[in-house]
Amino acid sequence: MPRPEWTNWAGTVTRSPGSTAHPRDVPEAAALLRAAARSGRTVRPLGSGHSFTAVGAPDDGALALDLARWTGIERVDGPLVTVRAGTPLHRLNRELAEFGLALPNLGDIDQQTIAGAISTGTHGTGAELGGLATQVTALELLLADGSTRRCSETEDRMLFDAARIGLGALGVLTRVTLRCVPEFHLVADERPEPLDEVLDRFEELAAANHHFEFYWFPHSARTLVKRNNRLPAGEAPHPLSRAREFFEYEVVENRAFGALCRLGRASPRMVRPLNRFCAATWSSRHYSDRAHRVFVTRRRVRFLESEYAIPLAELPAALGELRAAAATLDHPVMFPVEVRVAAADDIWLSTAHRRRTAYIAVHQFTGMPHRSWFDAFSSIADAVGGRPHWGKMHRLTADRLRERYPRFDDFRALRAELDPEGLFDNPYLARVLG
């Protein structure tokens, strides 16, 4: 019988693990690691498969460790919440709300497990806020020898600064303690604005809003700017009606946009006018709701994605170059570009390590040519020291990445110490870590 295949959400990676285990607790997972080590097999903990790269993919023949049965909040101690590593973000958001708590910042997808989101550097947007890993105050790792090791802000700090974004290379995340905040509401203000005006005021806009981002269709001159700011305490939120929410997000942004993408894939000469049509139909929205309902967007249209982190001040010039590159493409782009921001942090493999950061993410509809667009983008980001998102498509290897992370070799040395036999290796880690 053929082995069952594992495929990520975007369909960019497919593997055939030798077997998949579903441990119910840490001792059971430890026993599985020891057995795999004795048999010479590698091990890969499975997340939700939302990375576009093979960072979370089990090697062919490997043991895939599915933590879907190791979920839920274990302890709440004021704002500190300890959660099992297999918990999906959408479930965590609901459970935190039951305690009157919330995560201070989120990305726009909530299907990842907390372990996968942390390990790959998942982030939202906010000039004074870091990615999800910066909200971690302590974590527990299951090491290659089956032992557990805890680290925190005050305990084993070197491991803590490495393991918060560990790519699954140091061990299996089993528990994570997060610093949460009292549940809050966001006022969402979304409106179309000219690209040139947004770029002229980019740093000002980023600094003036709690959460700032914009989308730009690359064959147009228009953006959709999103300003999300906290609703003052005591003010009642005004969410979108169910009918409008369904129409705006399900009908327009998923079903209608998906149909236009399929039309563009079938008729490439239509892509540029369709791209401009989509930009021209952007409309304004103003509402307020629970934070996680504002942060998260339903994604039913499949796409490919590459994202780089660049110094914040380089964003306007880099986007200008990307705009010029888009005009020369033989294969035009159906999907918008997304731009976000983040504060500097001290995590060794964080894309925002020691610098204020702007993120540029480029996309293409699945099944459409993407390589020339992604390569042009990569060249522009490389010129300003761009760091690729670990979970999104890029071609960089360890030699190139070493130049961009001051603690890169420290991470490699720690990896060699904790996993000397390469139990957690896979081809992606071999490429990016050496």
Which tens digits make up the pLDDT trace of 140-151? 999 999 999 999
| 403 has pLDDT over 90 | yes
Indicate which CATH number applies to the domain containing 281. 3.40.462.10
Residues 43 and 77 in one domain: no
Q: Percentage of residues in the chain with pLDDT exceeding 90?
A: 95
Q: Is residue 427 part of a domain?
A: no
Taking residues 295-300, report their average pLDDT: 90
Antiparallel, parallel or unpaired: β 19-21 and 63-66 = parallel
Q: In terms of Cα–Cα distance, which of 308, 334, 301, 299 is closest to 401?
A: 308
Q: Is residue 312 part of a domain?
A: yes
Q: Is residue 420 part of a domain?
A: no
Q: Cα 209 to chain center, whole Å? A: 21
pTM (2 d.p.): 0.95
Split at pLDDT 50, 70, 90, the class of 3 is: low
Q: Is residue 160 part of a domain?
A: yes
Residues 211 and 358 in one domain: yes
Q: In terms of Cα–Cα distance, which of 183, 33, 56 is closest to 113?
A: 56
Q: Is residue 42 part of a domain?
A: yes
Residues 156 and 272 in one domain: no
Residues 190 and 167 in one domain: no
| 2 has pLDDT over 70 | no
Residues 256 and 370 in one domain: yes
Question: What does the mean pLDDT of the chain come to?
Answer: 95
In 267-347 the beta strands, taken as DSSP E runs, fall at 285-290, 303-311, 337-342
Q: Report the pLDDT value the prediction gives residue 298, as an integer from 0 to 100.
A: 86
Q: Which of 38, 66, 94 is the last residue of a domain?
A: 66
Residues 330 and 371 in one domain: yes
The structural domain count of the chain equals: 3
Q: Which of 23, 41, 66 is the last residue of a domain?
A: 66
Q: Is residue 299 part of a domain?
A: yes
Residues 89 and 28 in one domain: no
Indicate which CATH number applies to the domain containing 21. 3.30.43.10
**Which pair of tokens denotes residue 232?**
């003052």
Residues 31 and 95 in one domain: no
Residues 328 and 194 in one domain: yes
Q: Is residue 32 part of a domain?
A: yes
- List, in sequence order, every residue forming a beta bridge with 44; answer none if it has no partner: 64
Q: Percentage of residues in the chain with pLDDT exceeding 70?
A: 99
| 6 has pLDDT over 60 | yes
**Which pair of tokens denotes residue 145?**
């020898």
Taking residues 301-305, report their average pLDDT: 95
Residues 177 and 112 in one domain: yes
Cα separations (Å) of 349 from 117, 161, 388? 14, 9, 11
Residues 228 and 308 in one domain: yes
Indicate which CATH number applies to the domain containing 85. 3.30.465.10
Residues 142 and 251 in one domain: no
For residue 108, the enclosing domain spans: 73-182
Q: Is residue 137 part of a domain?
A: yes
